Amino acid sequence: MIHANSSDNAGTESIFNSLINEVTSKQLHPENHYEVAAILESIGWNDERAFSVFGVGDIFELALEIFNVINEDISFSSFEEEVRYSFWHKSNVVIKSFIRGVIFALPMALSVLSMLTLRFSLWSYEYLSVEVATCIAIGTIFSFLTVGGFMQAIARRGFLYLRQGYYNLARKITWYFIRLGYLLTAVVTLAFLIFNLIFEAFPYDMMMIIIVYYVFLCAIWFSVTVMYILEREFTFTGLIAGGIVIVYVLFVLLKINIIVSQVIALGIVAIVGIALIIHFFSKEERKMEKGVEPSLPKRSITLYTTFPFFAYGFVYFAFLFVDRIIGWSTNNSYMPYIIWFRGAYELGLDFALLMLIVPMGACEVVVSNMMDELAESQKNSFGVDSLTIDSRFWRLYVRRLFVVAVISVVSAIITYIVVWLLENNPLPGFRTGFLSNYVTNFVLIIGLISYAIVAVSLMNCVTLFSLSQPEMAGRAVLISLVVNIVVGFLLSRWINYYYSVFGLLAGSIVFLVLSTRKILQVFRNLDYYLYFQS
């Protein structure tokens, strides 16, 4: 039973009714009080809070009270009236979703544009020695591998609390993962130092360049992720642009060494990023109701529930970069170190990555719109309609998957045409001559095909995330990573180093097939997975 003093009855009853509404907004007909307890924990309730507010023994007792009330009212529940939005409202939602999907790729586009015009970016330079380029490439790749899992964990858990208005919980969980991320960064740095001392893989000066770029880039990716969940996407794009401006001032105007200039710029961007995160969270927390101080679930629960997203993030970035590591480690030419940067290969894949910008925006729009429609159908359907809903949304999904596939193919074609036009009709100040290199042209074409396939696969994965099935997405990309490694390794050793790009192509095809099979599995039992999601 819920206990409260007579003077507090009205307030307690109001909180209790609001809590019922919040639970039913997430699951209109909970299966049992255990499901209610899971929902309560997901929105920040725990035993301590349940006792302090309602006087119950634990969260399960509170869940039972709520479940009983819902069951009493269930026979009187009516379908919700379908909300009809204006054309302008729908257009605004679509545009915002598209920008949100596109803008996450803008820093890469900004970096490539900077390289084409200024010959340098925040972390690269056209005229670097191959030794230094190798160091920066290693630091960059390992920064993505280190932070990739935390990106997914912060995005999923942070978004959860932000959507519910618990900005303090979002801040706490974000800083918790960032602290873990910095700890892992330190561990990786120490492990690299020990490895290099034992095996002498790189000279001391190269080792220090790798570490400096690695540490600063990790810090920047953390800032980028947090600004993304706070919907400050233009801010982190501005940060990257500001970093490039700092490099320009130091390197071009003040004639300071390019490495020193970039390290200073990276340090400033990293520090400013952290400061902005603190400011933005402080600003968001002021929106919360006074006196609302929910606690985070136990850390063991948090780590357990976010690990599948963490694993996916790590494996996904490993999938994107492993072909480069395989190609650069192929010992069929001059190889002074275990990894030797090949600029022609890197340039081809950098151009190819640009084609992902528009498809990523399309995926965001399509999946967001579909999940809204799915939630609306779930609220206004009987249980006996589940098979009809499954069939309807599978057909809808196939059509939208086809749309994303067409957009991806067109984006790949347009990207190649634009690169070709820049090659043959260069704008003033633009670098030219890249397609005259056979390896760059070859890798660009295979990379465009591969990333077009990856874009369609990502729609499958984003949908699986929306239905709380990160394990399915993770297994698909893990098997694809293995295929990428095996095919790329064999072809790079049997034929030539740049044939490792076929590992990316083979892995992309497997990624699409497996992720589509997982989606088909979900849509065959959509009502079950919707229940699981809730």
Rounded mean pLDDT, 452-476:
88
Instruction: Render pLDDT for 482-531 as a digit per residue (tens, 0 to 9).
Output: 999 999 999 999 999 999 999 999 999 999 999 999 988 887 776 555 55
Q: Is position 306 within any domain?
A: no
Q: Are both 318 and 283 inside the same structural domain?
A: no
Instruction: Render pLDDT for 348-405 as a digit per residue (tens, 0 to 9).
Output: 998 898 888 888 877 777 777 666 666 555 554 444 444 455 566 777 888 888 888 9
Domain boundary among 272, 296, 320: 296
Which region, left, alpha or beta, applies to residue 201 given φ > 0 means left and ψ of -120 to 50 means alpha? alpha
Rounded mean pLDDT, 108-130:
82
Pair 506, 483: CB distance under 8 Å? yes
Tokens describing residue 274: 């952290």
Question: In the prediction, which pLDDT does 389 show?
Answer: 54
Pair 273, 220: CB distance under 8 Å? yes
Q: Is position 102 within any domain?
A: no
Q: Are both 382 and 524 inside the same structural domain?
A: yes
Q: Are both 131 and 193 inside the same structural domain?
A: yes
Q: Which residue has the tokens 């039992």?
A: 525
Instruction: Render pLDDT for 22-35 as a digit per residue (tens, 0 to 9).
Output: 777 776 667 666 67
Judge whether residue 58 has pLDDT over 80.
no
Question: In the prediction, which pLDDT does 292 show?
Answer: 54
Q: Are both 439 and 515 inside the same structural domain?
A: yes
As a dihedral over the C-alpha atoms of residue 270, residue 275, residue 276, residue 277, rounded to 10 degrees, the angle is 90
Q: Are both 362 and 479 inside the same structural domain?
A: yes
Domain boundary among 53, 76, 99: 76
Domain boundary among 245, 265, 296: 296
Q: Are both 496 and 365 inside the same structural domain?
A: yes
Beta bridge mates, 125:
120
What is the rounded CA–CA span in Å between residue 112 and residue 104? 14
Q: Is position 192 within any domain?
A: yes
Q: Is position 36 within any domain?
A: yes
Q: Cα 339–340–341 angle (5° rounding)?
A: 120
Q: Are both 321 and 279 inside the same structural domain?
A: no
What is the rounded CA–CA span in Å between residue 90 and residue 345? 42
Q: Are both 280 and 326 inside the same structural domain?
A: no
Domain, as residue range, for 319: 311-534
Q: Is position 262 within any domain?
A: yes
Q: Is position 189 within any domain?
A: yes
Instruction: Render pLDDT for 208-263 as a digit per residue (tens, 0 to 9).
Output: 999 999 999 999 989 888 888 887 777 888 888 899 999 999 999 999 999 999 99
Q: Is position 91 within any domain?
A: no
Q: Which percentage of the chain shows pLDDT scores above 90?
A: 34
The tally of domains found in the chain comes to 3
First to last CA, the chain: 26
Q: Are both 333 and 433 inside the same structural domain?
A: yes
Q: How many other CB atoms are found less than 10 A from the CB of residue 94?
A: 16
What is the rounded CA–CA span in Å between residue 445 and residue 351? 10
Q: Are both 369 and 450 inside the same structural domain?
A: yes
Judge whether residue 442 has pLDDT over 80.
yes
Tokens describing residue 88: 């302008």
Q: Is position 85 within any domain?
A: no
Question: In the prediction, which pLDDT does 142 show?
Answer: 94
Cα 168 to Cα 173, 229, 236, 475, distances in angstroms: 9, 14, 22, 33
Q: Are both 274 and 321 inside the same structural domain?
A: no
Pair 253, 276: CB distance under 8 Å? no
Question: In the prediction, which pLDDT does 75 show?
Answer: 41
Beta bridge mates, 120:
125
Between 158 and 388, where is the model more confident? 158
Tokens describing residue 153: 């964990």
Tokens describing residue 217: 């880039």
